[in-house]
Amino acid sequence: MVKIVCMREYVIDVSKIEELQTLNDKDELEAIFFRANSTIVNGEKVIVVRKNKTGKSEKFDEMSTQEELEQYKKRVFRYLH
């Protein structure tokens, strides 16, 4: 029997990150980065999107390594108290 595992990329919405930064919600940010890290460990990419003026999500950045994700996480947490 062959087991097919369908992996999916993880999408992070920049506006959600900014909202959580404003609220200083470190727990939810940690949860997002935990899920993103799990995605990368499983061989998939993390896509960062930003909504344009019409409300459509556009790819802002892409990460495929834990090092790239850690750098992004440091930038996000840098502004929290």
Q: List, for residues 31-80, the tens digit of each pLDDT value.
A: 999 999 999 999 999 999 998 889 899 998 999 999 999 999 999 999 78
In this predicted structure, what is the pLDDT of residue 79? 79
pLDDT at 5 over 90: no
pLDDT at 4 over 50: no
Q: What is the CA radius of gyration of the chain?
A: 14
pTM for this predicted structure = 0.86
In this predicted structure, what is the pLDDT of residue 55? 87
Q: Decide: 48 and 61 in contact? Cβ < 8 Å.
A: yes
Q: Residue 15's CB: how many other CB atoms inside 10 A?
A: 11
